[in-house]
Amino acid sequence: MYPTDRPRRLRSDGIRPLVSESSLSASDLVAPVFVDATTDERVPIESMPGHERVPVEEAVARVEEVRDTGVEAVILFGIPETKDPEGTRAYAADGVVQRAIRRISESTDAYVIGDVCLCEYTDHGHCGVIEEDAETDPTLTVRNDETLELLAETAVSQADAGADMVAPSAMADGQVGAIRSALDDAGHEDVALMSYAAKYESAFYGPFRDAADGAPAFGDRRHYQMDPANRREALREARLDAEAGADVLMVKPGLPYLDVVSDLRREFDRPIAAYNVSGEYAMLHAAAEKGWLDLEAVAYESLLSLKRAGADLIVTYFAEDLADRL
């Protein structure tokens, strides 16, 4: 008589697809693209196999490569020609990202997202304007309210260039509200906003810092990014951003924070994004290189897990490779 209930009945090949609870498709994915003002040829990123920084002249070609795989959305990061304490190249009309966005939106149908932060543009590598003695006093870092203005300026300059969406990632309190109202004042009511709502101070960002040359010159980001120990706080962050007008709420990193993705999915009626970060990508590649893991299989399972946890869209360095297979 035992067992009466047999879950295995629903695992035969004929019915598995009918009862599958999650799925992954190319239209769920956003591919990061790095545009570099310091080079006139493509430069491979060593810790992120298969990825490159491209000069502005190559930005359209790079985005076309992404679209050829079926992925329609890109998020742009810039490496400027020069850096300074205020990150002025982040919000310059002729900044590297603004020039790239202009070209991409003029000559492709890609959905273009601009990452909005200052850390790639400041000489100290922090995500905003820093306190005077920050270099010597580890309790000091970014001045929140002064930074808001510069983030808003950055977002508006990207929207002016043709961005469809801006994605503030500086973890400054009030950044979503400041950016939303600046966009609206500039006539960009239709530009969407995806907030990095729960962005953790994570060691999984290592390879990205190679790619975007954005490691802090001193100190770390623990005074503005979230403590990896905290789960409830992510709801607080997300609520503040939703109330300030964020259209999409993001959790970053992805895999180590599936509980947070799941919480946000349950608590909010907005789309949830997950950022499958550079370290998540690099560690699978490293293990595959050793022959320890099947890269394609673990990449697929990783992204499917993010969908299962509740993510609607995923920013991932695997976008092109997986989309090709989906």
- Binding-site residue set for Mg(2+): 237
Q: How far is the CB of 153 from Zn ion (least distance, A)?
A: 15
119 touches Zn ion (CB under 5 A) = yes
Q: Which helix (H) or strand (E) holds 272?
A: strand 272-276
Residues that bind Zn ion (rule: CB under 5 A) add up to a total of: 3
Query: Should residue 127 be labelled a site residue for Zn ion when binding is judged by CB under 5 A?
Result: yes
Give yes or no: 307 in active site.
Answer: no
- Least distance (Å) between residue 170 CB and Zn ion: 5
Q: Which is nearer to Zn ion, 119 or 159 (CB)?
A: 119
112-120, 159-167, 229-237, 315-323 -> range binding Zn ion (CB under 5 A): 112-120
Tell me how far apart the alpha carbons of residues 63 and 69 are, in angstroms, rounded to a whole number: 10
Q: Where are the alpha helices (DSSP H) in 83-195?
A: 96-107, 144-161, 175-185
Q: Give min distance, CB of 119 to Zn ion, in A.
A: 3
Is residue 252 part of the annotated active site? The answer reads yes
d(CA 186, CA 277): 32
E-only strand ranges, 47-204: 52-54, 73-79, 111-116, 165-168, 192-199
Numbered residues of the known binding site: 117, 119, 127, 209, 221, 237, 278, 317
Of 33-41, 42-50, 110-118, 222-230: span binding Zn ion (CB under 5 A): 110-118
Compute φ and ψ for 127, nearest 5 degrees: -85, 15
**117 belongs to the binding site for Zn ion (CB under 5 A):** yes
CA gap 63, 78 in Å, rounded: 14
Shortest distance in whole angstroms from residue 221 CB to Zn ion? 8
Q: At what angle do helices 144-161 and 96-107 cross, to 10 degrees?
A: 30
**Interface ranges with Zn ion (CB under 5 A):** 117, 119, 127
- The residues assigned a catalytic role are 199, 252
